[in-house]
């Protein structure tokens, strides 16, 4: 699922034929990835796993945003057997940027030195394109159009053009400020 459909992009570009549908679909996916990287946000529903070696101080800042839910937390012992952490032992809040996960009680310590904790989460604005903010959908549309119109037809070895200024301007309000 992408934040814009192939039909939307073809309408935007005024393309009536199906000759380049595969190229346009690839441009949409690449544009979504570019907008996600520039904004620091996941646009459509995606499953992510955070792997930790040890428990950091609580609350933990989750590395992706927005997060819809934390679906499971597993801790592995020295025998590589996973124990699922009960939901009563942690609290998740997506109201923060970045989303936060607080430990409310005792959690088992990982028994293996690498990757002893796995936190599974569902990220993104939602499963439907309409759940993605319109400014970010427009950024994907403009960037996909830019990728389509500037598809490397120039000289070999020439770097692709950077993200257009209009796309960067649409993405800017969604970037997380870092101090």
Alpha helices in the chain (DSSP H): 6-13, 21-39, 134-149, 165-171
The tens digit of pLDDT for each residue in 72-120 reads: 999 999 999 999 999 999 999 999 888 999 999 889 999 999 999 999 9
Q: Is the pLDDT of residue 156 over 90?
A: no
> What was the pLDDT predicted at 2?
93
Only one residue has tokens 């009680």, namely 105
Considering only 32-41, 57-66, 155-164, which range has the smallest mean pLDDT? 155-164
> What was the pLDDT predicted at 68?
95
Tokens of 104: 């409310």
Residues forming beta bridges with residue 90, ordered by sequence position: 103
Q: Is the pLDDT of residue 154 over 60?
A: no
pLDDT-derived band at 155 (thresholds 50, 70, 90) equals low
Residues forming beta bridges with residue 82, ordered by sequence position: 76
The tens digit of pLDDT for each residue in 16-54 reads: 999 989 999 999 999 999 999 999 999 999 999 999 999
Strand extents, DSSP E, the chain: 46-52, 60-61, 67-76, 82-84, 90-93, 100-103, 117-123
Mean model confidence pLDDT for the chain: 91
């Amino acid at each position: 699922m992408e934040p814009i459909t192939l039909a939307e992009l073809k309408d935007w570009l005024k393309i009536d034929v199906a000759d380049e549908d595969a190229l346009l679909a690839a441009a949409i996916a690449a544009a979504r990835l570019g907008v996600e990287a520039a904004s620091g946000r996941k646009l459509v529903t995606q499953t992510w796993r955070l792997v930790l070696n040890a428990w950091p101080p609580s609350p933990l800042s989750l590395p992706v945003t927005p997060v819809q839910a934390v679906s499971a937390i597993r801790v592995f012992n020295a025998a590589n057997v996973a124990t699922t952490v009960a939901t009563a032992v942690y609290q998740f809040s997506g109201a923060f940027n970045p989303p936060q996960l607080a430990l409310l009680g005792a959690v088992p310590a990982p028994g293996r030195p690498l990757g002893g904790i796995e936190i599974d989460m569902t990220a993104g604005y939602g499963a439907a394109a309409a759940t993605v903010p319109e400014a970010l959908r427009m950024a994907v549309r403009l960037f996909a159009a830019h990728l389509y119109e500037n598809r490397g037809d120039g000289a070999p070895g020439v770097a692709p053009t950077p993200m257009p200024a209009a796309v960067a301007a649409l993405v800017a309000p969604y970037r997380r400020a870092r101090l």
